[in-house]
Structures are given as structure tokens and as C-alpha cells.
A and B are shown apart, each in its own frame.
Chain A
């Protein structure tokens, strides 16, 4: 894999880096948008465990072309995507440009509102700009008796039929998802599996985790109903070109870590607003070694740092994944060597340890082993973040290695129908041919349920595995979850205590009934 053009990832690696964030100011790194400087001030007040930050080098300040001796104005890959989509040869962060949208995705929660605005603004008889570029995926509130939720699926179905939408992944028989061959499940995973994510393109979706698709080297971000209504009618949207933060992740990934640990590390470092309005570009030898699903996990949670988009350069891994998934030609783009980055962070992955984000914020980072005394009540494995095939493989691997039984209810919610099938059919690597479902059953987990967003975001009261009650005891219900957010009330009851973790850590915790470092079950 030669990606020298991404290059210049100067591995400034200080064995004893001091990464207190007050240095961010000293470096003069925050320069493009003075309004953002307040972030640095706030971050410097955060209490960050020094055990953890010691693997991250001091952020490097912006490198202007003039300082590199180049006369050509380099662009980041995010800027290049904007450049192509806006038909401008050159642009810089801060510019507002009209971009042509390649794919617009919406789902059952925001689709009805976006459709309402589209009809109001463009007329009742209006047609969407391109019936093949609108992807509509019911996934949020599907297996519920909530009448309004059911009605919302009807609304997107009626609209899809009326507009002859080519990619509408319908579900009608709620009693048995397998009776619905078109039904996929969680939109961000389905988009990838169905070939809607392609390098160099612009993907917008009415969901904040649309940024997941940045794993494919494209610009992908979440928008609201009103913007989506505009895109439905025009295929365009006015967007501001974001400046880019670059994260260089080097070193061999220890076998007890997953991409979830990497992104929790980064969010813990820069805070839940550290990347607000910014692109987060991930490069380095570790990133190159990640599978597509792991890259998706990484990009999925950039919004938890406030990021506008996350992006990973496309490479052989990307192209291989896309084989036989799409017939649409695509053209990858890469950051120039002279590209300007607002800041650059260098992380030595080999020194990281399994992490969690404690309640009630995704940046409330701690080492899993620091939380070993936290008694838990349940474990949840699912969502766009942690409900992919490889996430279940990872959980199964820990359960199998222990040979034991889970001590707390362990809920498994495959993201999509394909993931569900993989759980029941694919042999877990190194298991001697056992499937995830066999391993889960032997360990005493709940039977994998119907694919959907499930209880990741609470949802209607009858949602499977939703936190409906604070525990009857004096303590609040504690859940270790492979999902993405742990704000109060995220999974239902607002007193629920959610520890975000990797599938390894979640499975290890299920086995002990406490937050547990997965290394306890590895050799």
C-alpha cells in the first residue's frame, strides 16, 4: 500500500510527552477560528488521568505551506472532497460552498419531518432530485407497539413508493424480521453493507452518526430535517469547509484493544467539544491495519467529540470491501503533503490500555482496570458503534476464552439482518468452528434479538433491553455498553449509569459482574 501522498505524518514521538491541553494555546494551534479558542480554555480545566495521556504527544500546530517551502497550496482530503463537490478548483476552511450531494440518507425518526418540509417548500407534487440517490432505512423504532412509531414507518413507505425511491429497505412484518428480505436494520451499518459508502463522495444523513461513513474516505455528516428537506428537492446544500485535525496513530495494536478504545482515548483527550465544526482525519500505521468495520467504529464516534466528520484515507482494505458492493464508479482523494492541518496529534497505540467512558459523558475516560470495583447490572452489545459482525466476534472470543457464564443479563442486538445471519452462521476465528450464537448460548447470554437501533437511544418504552427503571436497590442501574453515548437518559431512564466500552471489555464485564479489563480473560 503506497499512500505517500498522505505522507508527512511526521511521527513526532516524544517518549515523555506532556499533553496538558493548556499547551494547545501555547502552540498557537487554534488559529483559523478564534471563536473556537474557548474550547482550549475549558479543556485545560478537565481532570485527565495522567496514566492515560502519557501515550499522546503534544499536538502539533498548524503547518502553513509557507513554512514547508512549498508554493502550491495543499488541501486535506476533506477539502478536496468539498472542492470536487462544489466544482471549485481551490478552497480553504471557512468558505461556504454549495455542494452536490451524492447520497442522502434518512430513517423513520427524522424522515417524516424531512418529508413534511420537502412537501411544504417544494409542493405536494414535487419530486426528489434523484430517486437513486435517496436512501431510506427504517431502523430506529421498529419492533414496538407504539402507534406513532409504526405510523412513521408508514409515512416513509408511502413516500418511497410515491417517489419510486430505489433504495428503501422496508419492513412490514414486525413479528418476524426474517420475513422481510428487504429489511436491513441500523442505517449506518446498512449503508456500508449495501454499497452506499464510496470514497470521495458526499453523504448526508438525518442522523448524527452518519459520520460513520467517513471510514470509506468520504465526507459524511449528520443534518437536520430542514436541511434534508432542502437536499431532497435540490440535491445540494450550503456547507462550510471545516478545518482538519489530524490524528496519527502509529504502532502495533495490542490484541486486547479495539477501535472503540482508540476513539474513547481521543475523545477523552480532546473532550466532547474538542472537534466542534472540525474534520478529524485518521492516518498512520495502526489505521492502515484496521478492518473496515473497525474504521467505521472510529469514525462513528467523532460526533461525540463535536466533530463534523471523521475520515480515513481509502486503501486496499477499502477497495476490497467495496468489491461487488457497488457498480458506481468512485474516485478516492488523499490529503496533499502540504495540506494544512489545524492541529496534529500523534498517538502510540502500543501503549494504550482498554478504556471506558464513565457516566455521564463520552469524554469521561478511565482505564477499564481503574473501574474494577464498579458493580454492574447488565451488558448491552449493539448499535452502529458496537453491533457489527466483528463486534460480536470480539465478544464471543472473550466468552469462549473464559469458558464461563455471564453473571449479569447480557443483551445482544445485531445492527443489521446481515450481522444477525453472521452471528448464526460464521465460525468465530480461533474457535474451532463455533458460531457466535453457540458461544453466546453456552455463556448464558440473551438470545440475539431483531436488528435495529434498539435501546442504544432508549426509544419507546417497550424497546428490548431499554433501561426502564432505576434499580430497585439504593444504587442506580449500571450498564456496560458498546454504544456511543452515555448522557443522562440515553438508554431510557435518566438515572441509568452507562459505561461505554469495547466489545472485549463489555464481554469481560459480563463475565464478572464488574467493569473488567479484557486482559483478565486473555493469555
Chain B
């Protein structure tokens, strides 16, 4: 999915998100989600599994619910949780300040630690902390943002920190290019775009559901629904399972020996 860096239209993914653990060969449909063995809906305030195994962690953080009796081949993923609302131009220093970049995301214990620092760089005007002190994960699993979310550096630590903190999706008005691509590349979070500006209408703590299939965000607290933008041309890469899986499918690189 890495290819999405340069894909112009970050948008809703109508099919499954593939993780970077492509060797599990998730099918583009429900297989990914069924294989996660997660509860159908992520409990509203519970922490996701604090697994040491990065694969499990990954699945825990990108938990999505599959319709249990879905016999059709289309996936019906949705995210449910409380949201954390930020404004425009949230840059990568606010998402994960540079002093924490010594943590290497590909090391499981450091991956976990990155989560505890997610959004710790937000200015004091954000009175509610995203991750409580001494915690590794946030009670907010969905971020709602304004324009140009993730601008600034190319640090992949940014989407990784959010994913490690338990974020499943970000719904922003727009994204900075590298952040969007890194989100897709890592499979840490869904970078979704809203048709309209919703960070003015939602409040931190609102209970929301994202229905990927319908490209819809439902705010249960306010009772309002918002349309998300359809998937852009990152779609084929996402559906394949990311840049590695996409390239393997195309025969460009050999399959991983298991």
C-alpha cells in the first residue's frame, strides 16, 4: 500500500485494509477481518490487546468488525469508538515530537512505546490528553481533523504512533502527502477524507461509527451523518495488500518464503 504516497486521492477504503503482514495473504474481502479474532465491535472504552507480538498488536489496533453472517464476498467493515477532535495543520511534531524518534517502529517494544507518546506534542489549548499518563493506548480510536493532517516530516513514526495508541482511522478534511502514503504503507490507520469539514461539528468524546462500505461517518452523539470521499487510485494497491503484496502479485518481487 505504500504506493499511495503519491496517490492524489486519499479516501475511504471500501474494501479491507491490508496490513503490512502480507504473508498472511488476506483476501480483499472479509478474510482479513475474520482472521483477526477480534470482537465484532471494539468495545467503546476498552484498551486494545496489549500484545507483545507485533502481528497481534497490529490487528488489535486496526481492528475492524466484519459482519458475522456475511456470506457475500464483499466486506462490511466498520469502526466504532469515541473520537478525538483536532484542527488544521496538525504536523508530525505534534503527532510524535522529534525527541521520541529514537524509538524504532520495527522493534515491537519500541512500537508499543511510540503509542504512549501519540499526539503528546499538541499545544496546551488541547485540554484533554489523547493518551493518559502511564498508558500505552488512547481511549479514542478515531481522530477527526481539519486540513492538511500530518504535514511536516516524512517520519513514519507518526502514523505508527497513532496506530500503536489504538487509533483505527483518521477522518480529515485533507492530508499531507507523505503522511497519507505512510498510513497506507504501514497499514497502521485508515486515512479517510470527509466531503465537508467536520472537525467544527464533532467534539472530543463523541461516539462515532465509520461505515466503510457506505463511505459514511455517523456521529451518534449529535445524530449527524457525514459522507466520506470515495476511494482514490490508491485502491488497487490497498486491495492487493500494500506495496510489497502489490509488487509480488505483479511478479516484480518474489514471494516470501514461509
Chain A residues with CB under 8 Å of chain B are: 33, 35-36, 38-39, 42, 94, 96, 98, 109-110, 112-113, 115-117, 120-123, 140-141, 146, 148-149, 152, 155, 206-208, 210, 222-227, 230, 233-234, 236-242, 272-273, 276-277, 306, 308, 360-361, 457-461, 485, 487-490, 492, 494-495
Least Cβ distance of A441 to chain B in Å? 30
> Which chain B residues border A33 with CB–CB below 8 Å?
8-9
Are A238 and B243 interface neighbours, CB within 8 A?
yes
Q: A38-B174, A206-B154 are in contact. Are A234 and B8 (CB under 8 A)?
A: no
Least Cβ distance of A422 to chain B in Å? 27
Q: A239-B6, A487-B152 are in contact. Are A277 and B177 (CB under 8 A)?
A: yes
Least Cβ distance of A212 to chain B in Å? 13
Are A152 and B6 interface neighbours, CB within 8 A?
no
Measured in the bound complex, the distance between the Cα atoms of B253 and A230 in whole Å is 10
Q: A148-B103, A238-B243 are in contact. Are A227 and B148 (CB under 8 A)?
A: no
- Count residues of chain B with CB under 8 A from any CB of chain A: 61
Are A113 and B102 interface neighbours, CB within 8 A?
no
Per a CB cutoff under 8 Å, which of A117, A141, A276 touches B102?
A141
Measured in the bound complex, the distance between the Cα atoms of B246 and A236 in whole Å is 13
If A35-B9, A141-B101, A457-B153 are given as contacts, then 16 extra A-B residue pairs at C-beta distance below 8 Å, sorted by A number, are A42-B147, A110-B154, A222-B178, A225-B105, A225-B182, A236-B247, A237-B3, A237-B243, A272-B89, A306-B151, A308-B177, A458-B98, A485-B152, A487-B91, A490-B98, A495-B124
> Which chain A residues border B124 with CB–CB below 8 Å?
494-495
Are A230 and B89 interface neighbours, CB within 8 A?
no
Is B79 in contact with chain A by the CB < 8 A criterion? Answer: no
Is B121 in contact with chain A by the CB < 8 A criterion? Answer: yes
Per a CB cutoff under 8 Å, which of B121, B157, B177 touches A488?
B121
Measured in the bound complex, the distance between the Cα atoms of B123 and A65 in whole Å is 48
Are A226 and B186 interface neighbours, CB within 8 A?
yes
Per a CB cutoff under 8 Å, which of B8, B97, B173, B237 touches A277?
B8
> Which chain A residues border B148 with CB–CB below 8 Å?
272-273, 276, 306
> Which chain B residues border A140 with CB–CB below 8 Å?
101
> Which chain B residues border A36 with CB–CB below 8 Å?
8
Measured in the bound complex, the distance between the Cα atoms of B152 and A272 in whole Å is 9
> Which chain A residues border B229 with CB–CB below 8 Å?
35
Measured in the bound complex, the distance between the Cα atoms of B186 and A239 in whole Å is 16
Measured in the bound complex, the distance between the Cα atoms of B182 and A33 in whole Å is 21
Give the nearest-CB partner of A43 in chain B: B147
Measured in the bound complex, the distance between the Cα atoms of B237 and A239 in whole Å is 12
> Which chain B residues border A273 with CB–CB below 8 Å?
89, 147-148, 151, 174, 176
Are A110 and B155 interface neighbours, CB within 8 A?
yes
Are A230 and B243 interface neighbours, CB within 8 A?
yes
> Which chain A residues border B186 with CB–CB below 8 Å?
224, 226
Least Cβ distance of A427 to chain B in Å? 36
Is B244 in contact with chain A by the CB < 8 A criterion? Answer: yes
Q: A238-B237, A273-B176, A488-B123 are in contact. Are A224 and B243 (CB under 8 A)?
A: no
Per a CB cutoff under 8 Å, which of A96, A222, A458, A488 touches B233?
A96
Interface residues of B in 127-174 (CB under 8 A from A): 147-148, 151-157, 173-174
Per a CB cutoff under 8 Å, which of B6, B88, B175, B233 touches A242?
B6
Give the nearest-CB partner of B21 in chain A: A120
Measured in the bound complex, the distance between the Cα atoms of B174 and A273 in whole Å is 9
Measured in the bound complex, the distance between the Cα atoms of B151 and A419 in whole Å is 29
Interface residues of B in 221-238 (CB under 8 A from A): 229, 232-233, 237
